[in-house]
Structure 1
Amino acid sequence: QNPQNWPDSWKLLIGFQICILNFSVYIGSSVYISGAGDIMKDFGVSQTVATLGLSLYTVGYGIGPMLWSPLSEFPKLGRNGIYVYTLLAFVLLQLPTGFATNMPMFLIFRFLTGFCGSPSLSTGGATLMDVYDPARVLYGICIYSSFGVLGPVFGPIIGGFVAPAKGWRWTIWVFTWLDACVLLMLFFLLPETSAANILLKRAKRLRKATGDKRLRSQSEIDAAHHTLRDDLVILSRAFTLAFSEPIVFFMDLYTALLYGVLFLWFESFPLVFGGIYGFDSGAQGLVFLGIFVGAIITVPLFLLWVRYRITPRLTDPSFKPEMLLPPMFLGAAALPICLFWYGWSAKESIHWIMPIIGSSFFTVGVVTLFNPVFNYLGMGYPAYPASIFAGNALFRASFGASFPLFAPALFHRLGIGPGNSLLGGIAICFVPIPFIFHYYGERIRHMSKNARHDI
């Protein structure tokens, strides 16, 4: 019954469900962008207020993991119940969202749906660590995080065709149906993967079968001495780790920048491909395929690097988590290259394919920054993976929610080229972070009481 010993086919099914869940919740953020214009007309609000529909959803799934992820580490609760019940609430809350009669009602339920849909965005990585050994979890987290990127990418593609044909409410119904199907799949096919929860249930069954009250799991023995203060410490763990651990804080900050730029950057696509090149709404959605093509090229190359450079060294006594970070050197350069290329090639005198090619470099940055960070944090803090990933989700959501709010002012006042150059300059300021932690991360880890010290 140990999840680490389950058949590969069973593990693959679990991984598939977690990836699809991640995709289906993330798509709910960006698919909204295509219907923002209709919302402005229906409710008579400004562009900034309409953008709050994206921002509050993002805030919701940033705050949610700070509660749900520590709860999933309670042996009595486990992970499965958190996934199923929160996703059920997520699907049901789409009804008042899609039938909203005014903007305040719409915004409140957008926040609540984001909050309830959030467990997959952080706890999913912990589920993969439950079932896979350290060598294969590197592949799993890469594929899992790639699905998290594909959600925001495919959202505008789908919304670009749905919103003009059916209106903004149908952008809600499309991913609601998707999540309802995912909910049924999880209910029937997703097993509990928390080892502590499995052992606790086994101890209860044995006590009932034998009548021997001495049979207890380790988590029950530990919980016998727990106080309310201990439970509150567990619930606040995601906050404390995010803000008290230098490695966690700066890695979270870097991925948050990437995520914030992604959502802010999406706001410039209608200005470039609609305003400059005259694309209709459907074609504007299709330009996001440049980012998808970048993922098709980059993800396999990253997995090959893991296969030949990392996996053989995992059993080496000299292996350090910092050895996972070199791909970040490439990602740190790819992000500003993307922003400068995209920004300054978006001109009527230059063919539209050039900014699309430039946008593909964004995926290089996403894949080679996100994946090493997730794997590094998971390996450096293996005792608290759900809480670690929850803190990362909070940082990413905070930036993803706030950046789009000043996108109109940024691009209208500075222009596409200078606006992207400003973002590229900020990205350059973050370039030293992976180099610092690659060379000094081990020393910093060993100064922490929460990080791993044995390697």
Structure 2
Amino acid sequence: MESEDDQNIVTWDSPTDPANPINWPSWRRWTLICLVSSCTFVATLASSMFAPGVGEVMQEFGVDNDILSSFVITIFVLGLAFGPLFFAPLSELYGRLVLQHVGNIGFVAFTVACAVATDLGMLIVFRLFVGIFSSVFLTNGGGIIADMVRQEERGFALAMFTVGVLLGPVVGPVSGGYLGAAAGWRWIFWVIAILGGVHAILCFVFWKESYPPVLLERKAARLRRETANPKLRSKYDNGLSPKDHFKHSITRVCKFLIYSPIVLSLSLHMGLVYSYFYLLLSTLTPIFQETYGWTSQSTGLAYLGLGAGFLFGQALFAKISDRILRRMTRRSADGEMKPEYRLPPSVIGGCFVPIGLLWYGWAAQEKAHYILPIIATGFMAFGNCLIFMSIQAYCVDGFTIFAASALAATTVVRSVFAGVFPLAAPRMYAALGIGWGNTLLAGLALLMVPVPQLLMTHGEKLRKRNVKRMENL
């Protein structure tokens, strides 16, 4: 027999309630996934599209500093680190829709500001804010997949979402090299702003709120008005005011990193390999210009190896991730779909990253044919992709209602790594050479390979304790 409190809790009408985003028609769910992936693609274009033209930027502003030339690229990624600290809790308070519109407007406004910047300091600051607002798309991407896609189908959905996350930084330098040479570096930002504006309009037309706590709170408010029963409340209502809820939520990202060894270890793993990707973004241009004599226009083609590696990685993950989940579930004693079953591809990816680094470093060091280091970057990108998507899928499956905060924690760590680590690359390569420098990086990558394997074996109990702790903190 239900108590009075139970009768006043508002939840979905049934497991097939059409108001529940899990039960939305496929076309509506995939519209949102494709929209957020496309927005993320444009945002990540902004992270790297003008990388081949950085020399022109430095020349126009009269600056000759290798660290600043790398920093003007990686400052965007530091913005991705700061943004989730605020946008993840706001997403869990006000939902996905409002945050998506805020992200679109902020992204377009500060991209236009980059296009009209009059000195390097202004450009760096504006790119920081472009990165901050771009983090909304990364936060919302994993969040809406947790909202709308059943666990056994999330691998494919995440693969489709990460097409935008991973291909943008690769397509950017290829297209930016030719556009910058033809029209100047400022037009790179104008094109990005136009693309961002188109996506902002599409989101205003098609985006629909998908966050269950917000939807159920709206349902509870409607029922309170219709029934004159002020005791009705959403099953997610914790009794906190919006102000207190925000204070409670804004620290959740940090709590994930402090109190969850799982999230911290996976964040460090992802952060290391992701920083290698941005290391390549900031060093491929000078290496191919100085070693192989390529022009700034053609240097963008050196990034095609990365693009091919990411495409193969995404195709493989989309094909095998859900299959592995279902197969391991059938073989398990309790028949439970466990988030740990998302991690096997990351073990494979962890082996490809050091192979690609060693191959790339020594091929470039020995001035081998240019196709060899390009192929090597493809190996690294393939491994990077499998690691990235496996960890994303694990966080979505393992922390569901807190998926935005868990993903924000990984985004903060990997973005800090990617924003800072490449700044040390010029001095490291000057001291060790690209061959031994990449050998050092490959060794660090090898140390992280056992992390997902250990979590597959021993992580379940620890994860369940983490989830309970997050609910109480």
2:58 aligns to what SS in structure 1?
Answer: helix
2:167 to 124, 143, 150: 150
Partner of 1:66: 85
Among candidates 236, 239, 243, match of residue 254 of structure 2? 239
**Which piece of structure 1 moves more, 199-208 or 390-399?**
199-208
- Are the aligned partners of 2:39 and 2:164 in contact in 1 as well (CA < 8 Å)? no
User: In structure 2, what is the Cα distance between the partners aligned to 1:449 and 1:156?
Assistant: 40
2:228 matches 1:212? yes
CA RMSD for the aligned pairs? 2.2
Q: 1:236 to 1:310 in 2, by over 3 A?
A: same
What aligned pairs does 1:32-431 form with structure 2 within 5 A after superposition?
32-45=50-63, 46-74=65-93, 77-208=94-225, 210=226, 212-214=228-230, 216-218=232-234, 221-223=237-239, 225-226=240-241, 229-314=244-329, 317-346=335-364, 350-431=368-449
Equivalent residue letter for 1:99: V
Q: What SS is found at the alignment partner of 2:79? A: helix
Q: Distance in 2 between matches of 1:307 and 1:241?
A: 26
* Aligned amino acid, residue 215 of structure 2: I
**Aligned partner letter, 1:197:** V
Question: How far, CA to CA, are the matches of 1:395 and 1:220 in structure 2?
Answer: 29
Cα distance in 2 for partners of 1:117, 1:110 equals 10
For the structure 1 residues 146 and 450, does the alpha-carbon distance in structure 2 shift closer, same or farther, using more than 3 Å as the test?
Answer: farther
1:368 is displaced (CA, Å) by 1.6
Q: Is the 8 A contact 2:51 2:173 kept in 1?
A: yes
Percent identity, aligned pairs only, is 29
Q: Distance in 2 between matches of 1:216 and 1:319?
A: 33
C-alpha distance in 1 between matches for 2:84 and 2:359: 35
Kindly tell me: are residues 168 and 450 of structure 1, through their superposed partners in 2, closer, same or farther at Cα, counting changes over 3 Å? farther
Instruction: Tell me if structure 1 keeps the 8 A contact 2:313–2:383.
Output: no
User: Which deviations, in whole Å up to 9, do the C-alpha atoms of 1:200-248 show, x marking residues without a partner?
Assistant: 223334445x36243744168533x558555412111111112221000
Confirm or deny that 1:441 pairs with 2:459: yes
What TM-score do the two structures reach when normalised by structure 2?
A: 0.89
Whether contact under 8 Å (1:381, 1:452) holds in the other structure is no
User: Aligned pair in 2 of structure 1 residues 85, 446: CA closer, same or farther (>3 Å)?
Assistant: closer
Q: CA deviation at 1:283?
A: 2.1
Inter-partner Cα distance in structure 2 for 1:233 and 1:432: 34
CA contact (8 A) 1:380 1:452 kept: no
CA distance in 1, matches of 2:82, 2:306: 27
Q: Classify 1:304/1:94 alpha carbon distance in 2 versus 1 (closer, same or farther; 3 Å).
A: closer
Partner of 2:4: none
Shift of 1:17: 0.5
Give yes or no for contact 1:135–1:314 (8 Å, CA) kept in 2.
Answer: no
Match of 2:175, as an amino acid?
A: I
For residues 398-450 of structure 1, give each alpha carbon's deviation from its aligned partner in whole angstroms, at most 9, with x where no partner exists: 01110221222222332221221121121112122122212111242244354
Kindly provide the CA deviation profile for residues 18-71 of structure 1, in whole angstroms up to 9, marking residues without a partner as x. Answer: 111111111111113122111211212223223322222211121101110111
Aligned-partner Cα distance in 2 for 1:430–1:36: 33
How far apart, in 1, do the equivalents of 2:238 and 2:258 lie?
27
Unaligned runs of 5+ in 2: 1-18
User: 1:445 & 1:286 partners in 2: Cα distance?
Assistant: 43
Alignment pair present for 1:2 and 2:20: yes
Q: 2:12 maps to what in 1?
A: none
Q: Is 1:163–1:171's contact at 8 Å kept on the other side of the alignment?
A: yes
Contact 2:363 2:372 in 1 (8 A): yes
> 1:23, 1:151 within 8 Å by CA — same for their partners in 2?
yes
The whole-number CA distance in structure 1 between the counterparts of 2:236 and 2:80 is 31
Work out the CA distance in 1 between the residues paired with 2:425 and 2:228: 64
Letter in 2 for 1:439: T
Q: Counterpart amino acid of 1:293?
A: A
Letter in 2 for 1:291: L
SS in 1 for 2:335: coil
SS of alignment partner, residue 137 of structure 1: helix
Q: 1:159 to 1:379 in 2, by over 3 A?
A: same
1:62–1:115 CA contact under 8 A, matched in 2? yes
> Could you tell me how far apart the structure 2 residues matched to 1:307 and 1:382 are?
17
Give the letter for the 1:276 counterpart.
Answer: T
* AA partner of residue 411 (structure 1): Y
SS of the counterpart of 2:294? coil
How many angstroms apart in 2 are the aligned matches of 1:393 and 1:177? 26
- Sort the Cα spacing of 1:253 and 1:162 in 2 relative to 1 into closer, same or farther, 3 A: same
User: Contact between 1:31 and 1:156, CA under 8 Å: does it hold in 2?
Assistant: yes
Match among 43, 49, 56 for residue 25 of structure 1: 43
CA contact 2:153–2:322 (8 Å) conserved in 1: no
Note if contact 1:290-1:356 (Cα within 8 Å) is conserved in structure 2.
Answer: yes
Tell me how far 1:95 sits from its aligned partner. 2.4
Aligned length: 449
CA pair 271-106 structure 1, distance change in 2 beyond 3 A: closer
SS at match of 2:401: coil
Distance (whole Å) between structure 1 residues aligned to residue 462 and residue 224 of structure 2: 45
Contact kept? 1:446, 1:452, Cα under 8 Å: no
The CA deviation at 1:142 is: 2.2
Larger mean Cα displacement after TM superposition, 435-444 or 316-325: 316-325
Gaps of 5+ in 1: none
Change (3 A) 1:421 1:367: same
Task: Tell me how far apart the structure 2 counterparts of residues 449 and 267 of structure 1 sit (CA, whole Å).
Answer: 38
